Amino acid sequence: YCILLFVFYLITVYSHYAGYPFPTAPPVDPFAKIRVDDCGKTKGCFRYGKPGCNAETCDYFLSYRRIGADVEFELSADTDGWVAVGFSSDKKMGGDDVMACVHDDNGRVRIQHFYNVGQWAKEIQRNPARDEEGVFENNRVTCRFKRPVYVPREETIVDLHLSWYYLFAWGPAIQGSITRHDIDSPPVSERVVSIYKYEDIFMPSAAYQTFSSPFCLLLIVALTFYLLMGTP
C-alpha cells in the first residue's frame, strides 16, 4: 500500500512539473453589460425612470431583438428581488404570459415562466426560455434570455410574432419566490409592441412626471403670468 501511495505521489509531482497539471473547472464567463447605444437601431428598448437613464441606472429597463427564430430579451431593475415582462392583449393584469428573472437566496438569478391569474402570478413549469444568464450586482437584478418567436398554440405562452402590450414590473422576493410588485400601477407600453420594429422608448417615473404633463406646464405658465401681472 505504501509503495502504491509513493508511486501516485511521484506521478502527481511529475505531471505538475512536466506542464500537465490536473484539470480544473473552466472559468465562468462574466455577464456582458447591456448596450444601450444599440437601442432603436438593432434592438428595441423601454426605459423607465430618470431622463437619460441607461440599463444600469433606470428604475426598469427592457430590450428585445430578433435572432433567427428567437427573440432575445434583456431585463434590469433597481431591486434585489425580481424583474419581469408580461405579454398582454390589453393593458391590465390577468391572463398574461410573464417571464421573470428572480434572485434567489443562493445569489443566483433564475429565469421563470408565469401566467397571471387575475392579480396573482402562477408559475408554469413549461418554460420557453433558453440561453439564460443573470446577475445580481449593485442592488440590481439583470438578466438575458431567448425564447422562440413561434410556439405551438398554448394558453400560457403567446406567439411573439403577434403584437402585444408589454407590462413592466419588479419587486422583492422572499426565499426565491416573487411577491407583489414595488409600485401599485406598474408601467405599461402605450401601444402594442411588434418585435419587427425597433424603438427606443422612454417613460418617466412618477418622480419625474409632475412637471412634464401638459396640465402642470399650463398651470406653471398661468401662475407665472398671474404673479407678473400682480407685481407693482
Under a CB-based contact definition with an 8 Å cutoff, are residues 76 and 59 in contact? no
Taking 60 as the threshold, does the pLDDT of residue 3 lie above it? no
Burial code of 44-71, b = ≥16 C-beta within 10 A, e = fewer? bbbbbbeeebbbebbbbbbbbbbeeebb
Rounded Cα distance between 181 and 201, Å, is 22
Taking 70 as the threshold, does the pLDDT of residue 93 lie above it? yes
Rounded Cα distance between 94 and 102, Å, is 20
Taking 80 as the threshold, does the pLDDT of residue 91 lie above it? yes
Adjacency order of strands within the sheet including 44-49? 130-137, 140-148, 70-77, 60-67, 44-49, 200-204
**pTM of the predicted protein model:** 0.77
Q: In this structure, what are the phi and psi dihedrals at residue 3, rounded to the nearest 5 degrees? A: -65, -45
Q: Note the residue count of the chain.
A: 232
Average predicted confidence (pLDDT) for the chain: 82
Taking 60 as the threshold, does the pLDDT of residue 224 lie above it? no
pLDDT in tens, 179-216: 777 667 789 999 999 999 999 999 998 877 754 455 54
List alpha helices for the chain, DSSP H: 2-17, 214-230
Residues of the chain with pLDDT > 70, as a percent, come to: 77
More confident residue, 168 or 6: 168
Q: In the chain, what are the domains? A: 44-208 (2.60.40)
Rounded Cα distance between 185 and 191, Å, is 17
pLDDT in tens, 105-157: 888 999 999 998 877 789 998 999 999 999 999 999 999 999 999 987 777 89
Adjacency order of strands within the sheet including 165-171? 120-123, 109-117, 97-103, 82-88, 165-171
